[in-house]
Structures are given as structure tokens and as C-alpha cells.
Amino acid sequence: MSRPELIGHASLYYNSKEARKYNSSSRIIGVQREITERSIELLRLPTSKPSYILDIGCGSGLSGQVLEENGHVWVGCDISRDMIDIARERFGNDTGKMEEDEEDATMKLGDLLHHDMGTGLPFRPASFDACISISAVQWLCYSNSNKQVPKKRLMRFFSSLYSVLRRGGRAVLQFYPETAEQAVLISECAAKVGFGGGIVIDYPNSTKAKKHYLVLSSDKTSSDKTYKSPSGLTTDASLLHKETVQVDNNNLRSKNKHSKKSFHKKKHGAKTKEWILNKKETQRNRGNQVRPDTKYTGRKRPTRF
């Protein structure tokens, strides 16, 4: 199955038909609830009072519903107008507009905004206590026109996110990177604007349950420059293999990237036929086009003069 990001613009992919299909799928609803609850756990919000949370890529409001159930106030934005329409039906919100107060502009519970996060977030500085995003950030790694540059869109997004979070605010952005390079690019852009934190990977050895969470902190104190993300979940507490990509304000350390390289060099050396066949089978399971196996697959070539 091909990735939605490769098919076209998110606002076109999530049309009225696809949006209602997404909103009525029991499997998707269950996954969204599980991811949102995990994101709230990673935020480590204070339990003494409700938090004001920004939900980026809120879709049809599945994640917003979980935020409400946990007693938080939230604002959602999404690039798909059809998704926003369904979310407004869910919460009975037919305006989605700001209401001016004497001192500041505030929003009601579950207010919704049709907006492209790649153009920056249109909120006042220090507006939110925290931010979550479910399955949305990876869309910024793809361009749908010559004017869209992924890295520039990521930088614009993260710089505005850093601005709208209050001092000490945190963000948990769950995403599905297509490659390891995408994950590193997203982490680098977050670090360049001043965020501390890193990528938490739950169930790294599982194909279906594996989830990436970019856990960020905007605390401007010196102690936060070495802020470390929580550990990822595993299927067994005795498993020591936990993949993390630590993000530092000064440099980016990709532990998983280096460990994979050393693993292949130590165990496989020059790639064996068994390793090549296993690699090709993995690519086929992901739906990628792979050349058929022949008697020449993994054949050792003679040395050159």
C-alpha cells in the first residue's frame, strides 16, 4: 500500500469521501485514541489544572475528543476543510472563530481552524501550554509544487511552534517517517529553532506497532539544553534495545543510525546472499518494487585488476 503523502496534497487526499471513511473506521479510531493517550502521557502535563493544548493536524477531531476526556482545553487546525467540517459536526462548532476578550483573544473549547501548518502557526506568542500532533508532520517532507521546499516549510513550522508555546511548554508530535533521513531532517529542524528533546520510538522491533514520537521542550533555561526524552516502550521490559534520536541545541546525535551501521559491518561484513534475500523480502512486504530473485542474486563478483 502506497503512502498517502506520495499520492498528492493532503487537502485533496482527505476529501469528503475519504474524511468520512477515516472518521467511521473502528480501527483508525482505536489507533488514534491509543496514540493520543500516549502523547498525553509523554507531555507529562500537571494534573492540578487543565492545560491549553494545540492539536496540529486535528483531522475529524478524534484526538481532540481524547483531550477533552482528559479534562484539557484544546484548539485544532488542519489543512483539510472536509476534515474540519466533520470535526465541527462532532463538537457542534459551526464558527471556528476567535472571540475577542478585553485583554486578549481567546478560543472556546474545541475551536477549529482550517490552516496549512507549513506556512507557520497563526497564533499569538506564548498562547499554549502544550501541543500534540498525530500523523501529520511527515507531510511537510513532501512538496506538491515548485514553490514548496520541505526544509523551509519544516523550519517555518517549528519556529512558529516554538513561539506559540509558553515558557516550559512541550510538544509531542507523532509521525510516520518514510526513511531514517526524514526522521533526522525533522529532528534537525526542531533543534535549530531552539527545541530540546528527541525522538521516542515505541516498540522498535515491531512492524505494525512501531511508533515515532518527537518529544520537544521549549524551556529557555540553561538546564533544558540537555533535556532528554522519555524512553520508548517495548514488548518486554527485559529488552534493552530502545531506539532514540537525542536532539540537542548544539548538535544532533543519531544513536540508532550509527548502531545499524556497526551492526551490519560486524555481523554481515561484505553483504552475504542470505542478507540480500532477507533485505529484498523486507522491501516486498513494504510494497516496494524489487527485482526478482535469480541464480545471480548475491553472486560474488571476481576481483578487479
Same-domain pairing of 209 and 179: yes
Residue 70 counted as domain residue = yes
Residue 109 is given by DSSP the state: T
For 150-185, the pLDDT digits (tens) are 999 999 999 999 999 999 999 999 999 999 999 999
Q: Residue 224's pLDDT is what?
A: 45
131 φ, ψ (degrees, to nearest 5): -145, 140
Residue 259 counted as domain residue = no
- Domain assignment of residue 300, given as a range: 268-305
Tell me, what CATH number does 74's domain have? Answer: 3.40.50.150
Q: Residue 303's pLDDT is what?
A: 64
Same-domain pairing of 279 and 163: no
Q: Residue 252's pLDDT is what?
A: 42
Residue 101 counted as domain residue = yes
Angstrom distance (rounded) from CA 216 to CA 172: 6
CA distances for 29 relative to 68, 146, 157, 223, angstroms: 15, 35, 27, 38
Same-domain pairing of 120 and 171: yes
Q: Residue 123's pLDDT is what?
A: 95
Q: Residue 13's pLDDT is what?
A: 81
Ranges of residues in the chain with a pLDDT under 50 are: 94-109, 222-225, 237-243, 245, 248-268
Same-domain pairing of 207 and 283: no
Report yes or no: 151 and 181 within 8 Å, Cβ to Cβ.
no
Same-domain pairing of 204 and 286: no
Q: Residue 300's pLDDT is what?
A: 74
Angstrom distance (rounded) from CA 230 to CA 23: 31
